[in-house]
Amino acid sequence: MGMTAASSTHQDGLPVLLVHGIRTSATMWRFQVEALTRAGIRVEAVDLPGHGTHLGEPFTLEGARATIDDAVTRLGGRVLLVGLSLGGYLAVDYAARHPDQVAGLVAAACSTSPQVRLRAAWAELSRWIERTPGSGAGLNAAVVRASLTPQAAVDVGAGGFALTVMAQALSEVAELDPAADLARLRCPVWVVNGRLDHFRSQEGRMLAAARSSGQPVHHVVVPRAKHLVSLDAPVAFTRVVLEAWEAVSGRHPSGQQVPGARPTDEGGGVGHDDDVVTEMVEDRLGDPARVAPTEVEPVPPEDRTQRSDHPGDPA
C-alpha cells in the first residue's frame, strides 16, 4: 500500500488529498502542497503502488484503492479528493464507492474512458518500450524537457519516474467506468482539463454523466494547458482547488492566498473577471452535449516560494 509522500501539518477544516498521474509521484503536487499549506489547509499527496517511494513494486487497482482509503482514514475520514489522469480515474472510482468519505471531487485530465479501444494498443506499445534498454528513460526525459517548464520538470522528476508500470496500470484500470461512477456521485465535482489535453475526447459524455447524478458540476478548461494541467498552469489549477475547498467546506482559508484566488462568482466564473471566457464543447470537439465550460487563464506564479532545487535531467 502507498504511504504519504508529501503533507502539511495545518489543521484548518476539510483536508485535501492529492492523487498523482501515471509514472509520476506525489512530488508532481509540490506547488499545490505549498500553496494549500500557506492557505492554512491540511493537505496530503500519496504515492500509488509502483510509483515514487514504491518504485519497483507492482501496480494493482486494489492496491491503489487501498492507498487512497488509508490516506483518507489518516486525514480523519472525509476529504476533498483531487486526482489527475490515472489519479483522476482512481479518485472518481473512490468517490463513487465511498460517498461518505468524499465531500467534493476534482477530476482532472480524465475525460476519456479507460475502456476505449486504443487502450490495448497503448498497453502493447508500453510493453515494447519497457523492454528496451533503460525502459524508455531517454524518451521520457526528452518529453519532460520539451513539454514542461524547468520548475515543473524538477517537481515531477523529484520522486523518480515509474517507467515499468504503464502496461500493468493500463491493464488494471480497464475495468474502471468513470462515466458510470460520475453518475453515482453524491458530492459536487469539478471536471478540469487543459484545452490541449488529448484525454478530452469524451468530455461531453463525462459531464452529462456527472450532471445525471443531480450533484453540482463545475467544468473548467485551462487555455494553453495540456494533459498535465496542474503542472502546465499551477496557479490556475490551484485556484480551482481552493474554490472547490471553499464550496464544500463552507469556510475561507485562514492563511495566504494564491494570487487571484477567490470563490466562484455568481455567473460561475473562477478568479478574475477578465480571464473567464466560455466556449461550447460542441463547437470545439463535435460533441453533441452542449456544455459551456468555465475557462481559466493561467496566472504567472510570481510569489512562488523559492526552492533549492536546480532544473536538470529528471530521468
**CA distances to 19, 82, 95, 249 from 44, in Å:** 9, 10, 17, 17
Rounded (10°) CA dihedral 257, 261, 262, 264:
-150
C-alpha cell at 199: 484525454
Residue 16 β-bridge partners: 43, 80
C-alpha cell at 107: 477530476
What are the φ/ψ torsions at residue 103 (nearest 5 degrees)?
-80, -30
Residue 9 and residue 97: Cα distance in Å, rounded? Answer: 28
Domains of the chain and any CATH numbers? 4-296 (3.40.50.1820)
Per-residue pLDDT tens listing for the chain (315 residues): 444 455 554 455 899 999 999 888 999 999 999 999 999 999 999 999 998 788 888 999 999 999 999 999 999 999 999 999 999 999 999 999 999 999 999 999 999 998 766 666 665 665 556 666 776 666 667 776 777 899 998 998 888 776 778 778 888 888 999 999 999 999 999 999 999 998 898 999 999 999 999 999 999 999 999 999 999 999 999 999 999 999 999 988 877 666 544 333 333 334 332 232 223 232 233 333 333 455 554 433 333 333 333 223 332
pTM score of the predicted model: 0.79
Residue 217 bridge partners (DSSP) = 189
In 3-state terms, what secondary structure has residue 107?
A: strand
Kindly state the DSSP code that residue 19 receives in the 8-state scheme. E
β partners of residue 81: 17, 105
Phi, psi of 194 (to 5 degrees): -75, 145
